[in-house]
Amino acid sequence: MNTVIAIIKSLRPHQWIKNLFIFAPLIFSLKITDTALLIKTGLAFLSFCLISGALYILNDLMDLAEDRKHPIKSRRPLASGLLKPAAARSAFVIFILAGFASAAVLDRNFLFIVLLYGALQIAYSLWFKHVVIVDILIVAAGFLIRVVAGGLVIHVYISSWLLICSTLLALFLVMSKRRHELVLLEHNASNHRPILKEYNTHLLDQMISVVTASTLIAYCLYTISEETVAKFGTRNLIFTIPFVLYGIFRYLYLIHQKAEGGMPEALILRDKPLLLDIFLWIVTAILILNFR
């Protein structure tokens, strides 16, 4: 039983919130009320959770030595010794095969994109995590792939605006996480993650500033673009901008004033004002797009 609990923890269920990006194409396709598509997207979400969970186990196996030196990651089942490497390897095989099998049943194109995601994550663990800036871009690409996967599984057109905004938001989250690692680990940062010696808080603050401004501008332009108005038949998406502004500013406040940002998925669930803001943005967007 202890091994089962350790395996479940190693799948990092708290990080599955990232997979909610899969629902973005459904929400913005005006088909959120289509039960069949909602169920299919939900199944795609579960499939992606199996695959991403398996890859988290693989990542823990590959980073075992570094994680044991980390003040927080050392508590993970593998790093702490609660889960044996042999059991972790078996769990990885079972969950990755289950994830790919379920993806194949859902849709061939969806299977292709999750295979791409898996290959990219493995390549990141082996090579790209050691390449400055590219490491950030690859992690952010994982969020973008989730959005694309959500569109492919239900066969809907994905707006270029949605892809741009998703990419910029992902970069914002990933850079914020890198900054938190530098602040948390201080002089020992490069011992845990060698690539961190190539960064400093000043550089990351500059990069975060660029991405923050770009994200806000891109979203504002998206809400008022002729393509958006023609597609949705409304100009009212502009009323969702205040939620985006507050959400980004709140996140920046938590990063700089509360030294947060290391685990975006946990922070979103833990910070009630931010969670409420996201909920209100989703509800407002759904009402505007589907009940015009």
pLDDT value of position 64: 81
Q: Considering only CA atoms, which of 182, 180, 193, 174 is closest in space to residue 65? A: 193
CA 24/CA 146 separation, integer angstroms: 9
pLDDT value of position 269: 79
Tell me the backbone φ, ψ of residue 237, rounded to 5 degrees: -60, -20
Residue 82 DSSP class: S
The contacts of residue 177 (CB under 8 Å, 6+ apart) are 261, 262, 263, 264
CA 214/CA 21 separation, integer angstroms: 19
pLDDT value of position 189: 62
Amino acid letter at 224?
A: I
Amino acid letter at 21?
A: F
pLDDT value of position 115: 95
Interior angle at CA 241, CA 208 and CA 30, nearest 5: 115
pLDDT value of position 190: 61
SS (H, E, C) 101-149: HHHHHHCHHHHHHHHHHHHHHHHHHHCHHHCCCHHHHHHHHHHHHHHHH
CA 251/CA 23 separation, integer angstroms: 22
The answer to whether the CB of 100 falls within 8 A of the CB of 51 is yes
pLDDT value of position 221: 93
Tell me the backbone φ, ψ of residue 11, rounded to 5 degrees: -75, -10
Q: Is 188 strand, coil or helix?
A: helix
| Angle, in degrees to the nearest 10, between helices 160-185 and 201-224 | 160
Half-sphere exposure in the Cβ direction for 143 (13 Å, CA): 22
CA 4/CA 256 separation, integer angstroms: 38
DSSP string, 48-60: HHHHHHHHHHHHH
- Residue 187 structure tokens: 């002089």
Q: Considering only CA atoms, which of 199, 177, 136, 193 is closest in space to residue 259? A: 177
- Residue 78 structure tokens: 């593998």
pTM: 0.85
pLDDT value of position 33: 80
pLDDT in tens, the chain (292 residues): 688 888 888 888 888 888 999 998 988 787 878 899 999 999 999 999 999 999 999 988 888 877 787 777 788 888 888 888 899 999 999 999 999 999 999 999 999 999 999 999 999 988 888 899 999 999 999 999 999 999 999 998 888 888 999 999 999 999 988 888 888 776 666 666 778 888 888 999 999 999 999 999 999 999 999 888 888 888 899 999 999 999 999 999 988 888 776 677 778 878 899 999 989 998 898 788 776 6
